[in-house]
Structure 1
Amino acid sequence: MILNKVVSLVFTVVLMGSLYGQETAVSQDSISIQDLDEVVVTATRTYRQLSSVPLPVTLISQKQIQRTGVTRLNEILNEQTGIVMTPDATIGGGEGVQIQGVASDYIMILIDGVPVVGRSSGNLDLSRFAIGNIKQIEIVKGPSSSLFGSEALGGVINIITEKPTSDSVSGQAGHRAATFNNQNTNVSLGQSRGDFGYFIFADRLSTNGFDLASGDESQTVNPFYNYTLNGRVYFDIGEKIKVFTSGRYFFQEFDIDPSTSKEQDANVQLRVDHRLSKNSNLQYELYYTRYFTDEKTVDPLDNMLLIANDFNQQLFRPEVRFNHSFKANNTLTVGAGYNFETLDRSLFADVVRFDSQYMFAQYDFKPIDKLNIIAGARFDTHSEYNSQLSPKFSARYDFNDKFAFKASVGSGFKAPDFRQLYLDFTNAAGGGYSVFGKEVEAEGIQRLVTNNEIANLVVDDNDLGQRLNAERSIGYNAGFTYIHGKVTADINFFRNDFDNLIDTRILASKSNGQNVFGYINRESVYTRGLEFNVKYRIMENLNFSGGYQLLYAFDNNKEDALNNGEVFGRDPETLQTIRLTKDDYFGLENRSRHTLNAKVFYEVPKWGANANLRVVYRSRFGLTDRNGNDLLDDFDDSFVPGYALVNLTLGKTFYEKYQLQLGANNLLDFKGQNPLAVQDNEILVNPGIQLFTRLTFQF
């Protein structure tokens, strides 16, 4: 097979590179580990100084995370430029992440460089990730499929966990109490002694939940508790081989009796770094992860089972990577891997399986002293969709030691997921509508026809079961960076074009008046705008940082319809039906035109005290089309007005080992009003102010 030849070629290149690396040497070891406080690895899969990367990358340090007093990944991400947290529609009300207007379905989440699974509804709930053991968080904006494949169509978030540094046992224990009886306890300890090191982390979170709809008997977020356990071991075998292994387990249960909602997330990672020479190394990696849920919705009146949504996804991935530095600032990276993925879900007729293989290559070099170029590509094959080639090119030019220009262009893709291919679901609780994935829709329609449940078939028989294509994107980023004295500033212009986005469509109408839905490649959308970030050291212990994003996000098909005069709406003031123009089109749902953040961090070393004030603003955004013209326009009444969240944290260290934090998230007690609430019913946007206190003991 062609694939086997391609993979064989990759391993041949790796072997030849390793032999070459044994025979060449340069005075500078460019792949050695540098000062990790300013080093990122996600953007290029090699160690690079943050200030030198020719891509839009955000680094959130451990110190920043600890000073804010937050405990979950979604909380810290929400304070970053160009990032917006969006609610998850699944039980529990968790949050996904939107980057540069790109929905959370298309953002890849990594822990120590390996992917997290568990998108039961397309969204990955980031509130399940504790951040008490995080060294840093790296965010790469724009398509990153050239290195990470599917789901990296809009960007990558990599959580880098902490590594032990002390030769004696050290760690910390802490407890945080907050509004809504939110109780969070965590303990960590580690040691690095000679060739061996370990780090252990345990976290427990519980809460009484909260309610955003006073007229609803159930809570918006039900009471729950969860546990996170994480262990990592490092050991060296001689001078050339370093071994890293880790395991993580997460368990969560919601109190929604008589219904049930439990989830488990576990993964095991083994990585071997083989230093072939001063300039070459190989990484061998084995990774296994499993995400499991047990969700059953039961009628509280008669205990009748309404919906069962058990979900069991497993991924096993071996991968090999090779890095070789021909000389300083000239590094070749190649790699290959295999994904074995299965999903057993109660909403599917059978257990389904994906197999995919991939190879990637990247060359990071400096043709001249002031110019850095990174060129790379990845080739993926898949058992259920066409092969994908994802190239990427980026460059950075330093005019001087203060001012630089950087730009990148790359292609990304997202494979059709299990749900879009194999879902076989009829909602007994929702009046009997059905949803079929592309691979089972023909069989599902035939089953309904046989049972005399179909009143009218909307699509042609020949259209049923036609293969879905992978969703594609091309992303462009270009901007300038300025660093001088106390000031660091950068501006980035971006555009992301998406094609073949998968949307739902009506396949048939049922005899009971309900519809049968399926999936189709249809949408073509784009996001564009700019981001601006600035950091300023006002004085030695007083730092300010701020960021702003301007975003436009539109559907190309809707714009064409507007330009052709095919869209109408009703003016709420005159109640007259009018022909809409492009100026009336607000854009895609849940996107704000303006978002900004501002942070002030202040330290008083002689008192062992610190304080920080963080402000996040989001301008108005629309939730859905309410006037029936199939797009979100300025005449819709589904807009949430702009609002600001103000967060304050105060910290004080006692006796060198104890730290007390007091804080208030949403200090101004913003609650807002959801416009989708029915008449005489109130649905809030935010539960209000959340006070917390935290005590930590270092040992």
Structure 2
Amino acid sequence: MRLTFCFILFTFCYQTSIGQNEQKTVRDSLKVEKLEEVILTATRTERQLSSLPLPVTLISKKKILQSGTIRLDEILNEQTGIITVTDESGFEGVQIQGIASDYILILIDGVPLVGRSAGNFDLSRLTVGNIKQIEVVKGPSSSLYGSEALGGVINIITEKPKSEELHGNASYRFGSFTQQDINVDIKQRYKKLRYVFFANRFSSEGYDLNPDVDGQTVNPFENYTVNGRIYYDFNDKLSLFTSARFYDQVQDAGFTFNDVAFEGDSKEREWNAHARIDQKWNDRLDTSYELYYTNYTANERLADPISEDVLSDSDFDQKLFRPEIRGNYAFADAGTLTAGFGFQYDELDRTFFDETVSFNSQYAYAQYDFNPVERLNVIAGARFDNHSEYSNQFSPKLAMRYKLTNAISVKGSVGYGFKAPDFRQLYFDFTNSAVGYTVLGYNVALDKLRELREQGQILDVVVSEDDLNNPLEAESSVGYNVGLTFKEGKWNSELNFFRNDIKNLIDTRIIARKTNGQNVFSYVNFDEIYTTGFEINTGYKITNALNLSAGYQLLYAYDKKKQQEVEDGQVFARDPATNQTVAVTQSDYFGLVNRSRHNANF
């Protein structure tokens, strides 16, 4: 468990709004309260949170404001079973049910964000200043969202103006280490037009938690986020949504090597453009036509300020383009069919790649949401992905919820998830200039090995060519969730048991030894792991102004091969008490690293 204390030295907030009358205020507040219980991500349709057969966490704007958090990673870290962990890239990523952030899809208004230079997604890039709610779907969600949704989906929903009066907010927060967060937000509904403008500036002079180690824990940085959104209702049946978002950050960078202090900076920049037309044909049929483009760039340069010798100079430039068409059809007393198809083009140009590489894929999905009997809700869905770089994927999912009483419901789901090999795992070509080891992407490993051998750098190759000729497979998972929900009066509780069996995990292995004593690494499918446990959330409403809530997760996460080796007595360790080598027992094997066995909040 990690407790975070935020000391705010100065807070200023200014808000303008014009009310109509007391009766309207009451109606609006009830409407907002109802909307906070509606979730879109789990089924791609509006559903009441309490009626869903899937494990879902909804974080409302009210909760975000009450928490005092300012970045996405901070508010997620306060939720049961959602843990932020720093990886080797230095970025904090989110774990869900023990599954690493590489396998969690991050969305804004239903469209994906890119920019995972080392597999992790830096959640601190995202401010919560203009968020209506955050929706977290736990477990495999590839049946609707495809690759990277193997472990779950986090969807950030922005606000849509409702009032015809001009509303504005401005806030300034100042904290230790000269941390500053500034927000400006205006929104209005004017006849058929609605518009929103949001801007955020976040900066810090940095801080150092370990003075005995060279460099700062967090270097000084300054970033800006600007977002504009326009909604236009042509009539009752046709509407347009457009959004443009820009993010820019500059951060000081430094590294000491061989007693030389290299200095420089790192820069990040992100563009998102999103347009969607929603059409309601009749009371049963509605369709959406969506177009999305995003571009993320990152640059870092480190050099000796005296000699101007360059230690590192890296670039990362990723683009994603995706059109999609989807629709919903409500059968008369027979449920709702949701279906869609689309095309995705993904391109990356970065240092350590010989050339710009690209993927393209076509996909189609369908989902049927129905009630075969009055108290039973069933959701059955599947998706098919045809990808240019790996085998086709079929991702089914089934979820059910049965209402035992007016207060108690039982629910369960089983689903398939997958994650495609990423650009780095296929095309990386990196040699550490200081140490001398080399890391090669799977698709370029064979050709690069031949080049290194011709240059006299290879001592011997430890794998056969056949091992490098078979395509790298997509990682896959089957996830199970079974739980109970209780809601009556002032009490609400939810218990969920989960298990995720993951195979074909991609990891590095040694494929050759170099004449300098170092190794050549590449990627391979070999790991099989599982995560299992349970989580429980409960809340009690003491008064309209005071609520208590608590949550707990118990997690076990194991590598199946290592667990079997321990069981067979094939793993040994030195006993510090006797200095003797002894066999490791099951109780000694904790499991996968960077996983908390116990996680609780109150």
**TM-based fold match above 0.5:** yes
Which of 311, 314, 329 is the matching residue for 1:309? 314
The aligned runs of 1:423-442 (5 Å cut-off) are 423-429=428-434, 431-442=435-446
Q: 1:339 aligns to what?
A: 344
Structure-2 separation of matches of 1:330 and 1:518 = 49
Say if 2:365 is the partner of 1:368.
no
Deviation at residue 371 of structure 1 after TM alignment: 0.1
TM-align CA RMSD:
1.4
Which of 403, 410, 413 is the matching residue for 2:415? 410
Letter in 2 for 1:146: S
Structure-1 separation of matches of 2:274 and 2:80 = 31
The aligned runs of 1:274-673 (5 Å cut-off) are 274-299=279-304, 302-328=307-333, 330-429=335-434, 431-598=435-602
Q: 1:48 aligns to what?
A: 47
Kept in 1, the 8 Å contact 2:362–2:386? The answer is yes
Structure-1 separation of matches of 2:306 and 2:582 = 48
The aligned runs of 1:72-91 (5 Å cut-off) are 72-90=71-89
Say if 2:122 is the partner of 1:125.
yes
Q: 1:37 aligns to what?
A: 36
Deviation sequence 1:519-566 (CA, Å, 0-9, x none): 000100000000000010123321001100000000000011112221
The aligned runs of 1:190-209 (5 Å cut-off) are 190-209=187-206
Letter in 2 for 1:516: V
Deviation at residue 256 of structure 1 after TM alignment: 2.4
Structure-1 separation of matches of 2:132 and 2:279 = 24
Structure-2 separation of matches of 1:379 and 1:214 = 52
The aligned runs of 1:57-206 (5 Å cut-off) are 57-90=56-89, 93-206=90-203
Letter in 2 for 1:387: N
Letter in 1 for 2:139: G
Which range moved further: 532-541 or 322-331? 322-331
SS in 1 for 2:120: coil
Letter in 2 for 1:273: D
Kept in 2, the 8 Å contact 1:108–1:115? The answer is yes
Kept in 1, the 8 Å contact 2:253–2:302? The answer is no
Deviation sequence 1:331-383 (CA, Å, 0-9, x none): 10000000011000111011000000100000000001000000000000100
Letter in 1 for 2:476: R
Kindly tell me: are residues 34 and 144 of structure 1, through their superposed partners in 2, closer, same or farther at Cα, counting changes over 3 Å? Answer: farther
Kindly tell me: are residues 208 and 375 of structure 1, through their superposed partners in 2, closer, same or farther at Cα, counting changes over 3 Å? Answer: same
Deviation sequence 1:4-25 (CA, Å, 0-9, x none): xxxxxxxxxxxxxxxxxxxxxx
Normalised by the length of structure 2, the TM-score is 0.92
Deviation at residue 214 of structure 1 after TM alignment: 1.3
SS in 1 for 2:381: strand
Letter in 2 for 1:63: K
Identity of aligned residues (%): 55
Say if 2:224 is the partner of 1:227.
yes
Deviation sequence 1:53-84 (CA, Å, 0-9, x none): 00000000001101121100000000000011
Instruction: Name structure 1 gaps, 5 residues minimum.
Output: 1-32, 599-699
Kept in 2, the 8 Å contact 1:438–1:466? The answer is no
Deviation at residue 300 of structure 1 after TM alignment: 5.2
Structure-2 separation of matches of 1:539 and 1:237 = 43
Letter in 2 for 1:330: G
Deviation at residue 462 of structure 1 after TM alignment: 2.5
Structure-1 separation of matches of 2:345 and 2:181 = 36
SS in 2 for 1:268: strand
Which range moved further: 120-129 or 35-44? 35-44
Deviation at residue 255 of structure 1 after TM alignment: 1.6
Structure-1 separation of matches of 2:478 and 2:308 = 50
Normalised by the length of structure 1, the TM-score is 0.79
Deviation at residue 163 of structure 1 after TM alignment: 1.1
Deviation at residue 296 of structure 1 after TM alignment: 2.1
Structure-2 separation of matches of 1:306 and 1:319 = 43
Q: 1:271 aligns to what?
A: 276
Structure-1 separation of matches of 2:324 and 2:563 = 43
SS in 2 for 1:63: helix
Kept in 1, the 8 Å contact 2:397–2:414? The answer is yes
Q: Number of aligned pairs?
A: 564
Kept in 2, the 8 Å contact 1:529–1:550? The answer is yes
SS in 2 for 1:442: helix
Structure-1 separation of matches of 2:278 and 2:33 = 16
Kept in 2, the 8 Å contact 1:34–1:47? The answer is no
SS in 2 for 1:65: helix
Deviation at residue 298 of structure 1 after TM alignment: 2.7
Structure-2 separation of matches of 1:522 and 1:300 = 45
SS in 1 for 2:528: strand
Deviation sequence 1:86-124 (CA, Å, 0-9, x none): 11433xx43110011000000000000000000000000
SS in 2 for 1:121: coil
Kept in 1, the 8 Å contact 2:221–2:252? The answer is yes
Letter in 2 for 1:217: D
Structure-2 separation of matches of 1:513 and 1:453 = 10
Kept in 2, the 8 Å contact 1:84–1:98? The answer is yes
Deviation sequence 1:263-299 (CA, Å, 0-9, x none): 1111100010010111110000000001101112334
Letter in 2 for 1:215: D
Structure-2 separation of matches of 1:183 and 1:366 = 51
Kept in 2, the 8 Å contact 1:182–1:205? The answer is yes
SS in 2 for 1:420: helix
Letter in 1 for 2:444: V
Structure-2 separation of matches of 1:369 and 1:195 = 39
Deviation at residue 301 of structure 1 after TM alignment: 5.9
Letter in 2 for 1:44: T
Which of 208, 211, 214 is the matching residue for 2:208? 211
SS in 1 for 2:590: coil
Structure-2 separation of matches of 1:581 and 1:199 = 59
Structure-2 separation of matches of 1:446 and 1:297 = 31
Kept in 1, the 8 Å contact 2:291–2:324? The answer is yes
SS in 2 for 1:349: coil
Structure-2 separation of matches of 1:105 and 1:211 = 28
Kept in 2, the 8 Å contact 1:567–1:580? The answer is yes
SS in 2 for 1:76: helix
Structure-2 separation of matches of 1:302 and 1:43 = 56
Letter in 2 for 1:45: R
Structure-2 separation of matches of 1:295 and 1:530 = 42
SS in 1 for 2:542: strand
Structure-2 separation of matches of 1:337 and 1:539 = 48
Deviation sequence 1:565-587 (CA, Å, 0-9, x none): 21101112211100112221100
Letter in 2 for 1:42: T
Kept in 2, the 8 Å contact 1:96–1:126? The answer is yes
